[in-house]
A = this chain, B = another copy of it.
Amino acid sequence: MRNHRGQRSLEILALFLPEIKELLEKKDFPQLKDFLKKVPSLDLAEGFKSLSLTEKILVFKLLSAQKAIELFENLRFEEQSLLLNNLANEEVSQVLNEMSADQRVKLFKDLPQRVVKRLFGMMRKEEVEDVRRLLSYREGTAGAFMTTDFIELKKELTAKNAILRLQEGRKAGQAQQDIYSVYVTDDEHRLTGTLSLQELLLAAPDMPIRDLMSPAELIKITHDMPREEVAKWFSKYDLLDVPVVDEADRLLGIITIDDIVDVIQQEATEDIAKMAGTKAEDIAARSTFRIARLRLPWLITTLIGELVVSVIIKHYEFTLSKIVALASFLPLIAAMGGNVGAQSATIVVRSLATGHIQQKDMARTVFKEFRVGVLLGVCYGIVLAVMAFSLYGDRFELFFPIVVGLGMCTSMIVASTAGAAEPFVLSRFGVDPATATGPLITTTTDLVSTSAYLVLATWILL
């Protein structure tokens, strides 16, 4: 959960930076302080990188406490560390104590142990506890990206008193974040219900929370739910926030929609990267060696698979030496098979990821893709036979085009069937189905189509 929703138009972005720079140069700090009040903190965070270190610290110190925290939350990790190393202890302590719990734990996750220790020394004890607790959840689960900034109420309160409680909380500096719902707990902090702000606002003032809330059995998730599952849940039920509980039903934190939007984007990026045989980190990586290392594993798999293809071709060297023309269609047949296989695999992988099909739909899906493969294989087989005849018709008998056409047809049928089956099989063995597309399917297809083509040729032509 980030502080206040950024509300601005794209044009503003370019306008404020020159003015800030000018006021910094003129050292007109009172006016700069005034001007900074008007700049949204999200835009300030975006322009921050073009300031020098001294300018950054100056600007930071001129901001109101609330705005300084908002700015800090929206900076990138590198700039956050820079500020933490260059601000006075009391400023660091204020920022770390007041920033939102999930942004803070994200920051601490990446800091070196030595720095963490030093910063913990400047923070309030209960905030240190909060960071420690959040850091203990396993990466990729609901617990690891929830926030502990939520509003907890007792069910005996009336709507009016609940609203008063929220207003007092704001005055006391709490509740700077967006609130979508309030959470009703019993004396052991067990979740008993939730209530959206809208229903609270529209309720009769003396109605007790008990009669307004939705019962909690319906909506909670446990801290160990994988984040993809959480995202599916939000997307299916149009939720704004969801409470996270432990095994004993105690309220641990909440997850809000803005974080889910990020998760959905990241999950898609990860799938896309995996489909091409690399990792999502590839996008942000700068070092050539690092990128090469991310892409290496699937290239090795391809290399090994294709070396087997080489050995198969070597095995049929005699056939090839008799009819060298066969070689000229090898890449074509492999490529067409590879493409058809990648299409089938990609569609199946994406359908599984979005929940459009499940593991139980395997037989139906593979049969569907088999039919598509037959249709495409027969069409393209005929086309290719005609092409082979027109390229080499003067030299070989009719059997040559038939071998080429049959090779194409077999390759496409096998490729689309295997492409559809691979994601199901991988996911049954606990491997992410997205790895099935790209390198793995191209290599499988090359293997199968080359063998089929050369075996057919040896049978029919020799």
Interface, chain A (partner B; CB < 8 A)? 2, 5-9, 12, 40, 42, 163, 166-167, 170, 175, 178-180, 194, 196-198, 200-202, 214, 217-220, 234-240, 257-258, 260-262, 264-265, 268-269, 271-273, 275-278, 282-284, 286, 288-289, 291-292, 295-296, 298-299, 302-303, 305-307, 309-311, 313-314, 317, 320-321, 324-325, 327-332, 334-336, 338-340, 342-343, 345-347, 349-351, 354, 356, 368, 371-372, 375-376, 379-380, 383-384, 387, 391-392, 437-439, 442-443, 446, 450
Tell me whether B214 and A238 are in contact (CB under 8 A).
no
Q: Could you list 16 examples of A-B contacts with CB < 8 Å?
A: A178-B238, A197-B201, A261-B261, A264-B265, A264-B268, A272-B349, A283-B354, A288-B371, A288-B375, A299-B336, A306-B331, A306-B332, A313-B331, A314-B391, A317-B325, A321-B324
User: Which of chain B's residues have a CB closer than 8 A to the CB of A7?
Assistant: 194, 214, 218-219, 237, 239
Cβ contact of A291, chosen from B332, B356, B372, cutoff 8 A: B372
CA distance A371 to B329 in the complex (A): 32
Interface-centre pick from A310, A351, A387 (highest chain B CB count, 10 A): A310
| Interfacial chain B residues near A356, Cβ < 8 Å | 283-284
Report the nearest B residue to A280, measured CB to CB. Answer: B350
- Within the complex, the shortest CB–CB distance from A379 to chain B, in Å, comes to 8
Partner of A310, one of B240, B309, B329: B329
Once A265-B235, A313-B327, A332-B310 are accepted as A-B contacts, the answer to whether A295 and B9 lie under 8 Å apart by CB is no
Complex contacts, A327 vs chain B, CB 8 Å: 313, 320, 324, 327, 330
Give the distance in Å from the alpha carbon of A379 to the alpha carbon of B197 in the complex.
60
Q: Which residue, A8, A194, A339, has most C-beta atoms of chain B within 10 A?
A: A339
Q: Is A12 touching B218 in the complex (CB atoms < 8 A)? A: yes
Whether the pair B288, A372 counts as a contact (CB closer than 8 A) is yes
B235/A347 in contact, CB under 8 A: no
What residues of B have a CB within 8 angstroms of the CB of A264 in the complex? 261, 264-265, 268
With A9-B219, A261-B234 already in contact, the answer to whether A309 and B332 are too (CB < 8 A) is yes
CB-contact partner of A288 in B196, B334, B368, B391, under 8 A: B368
Of A299, A347, A350, A384, chain B has the most CB atoms within 10 Å of the CB of A347
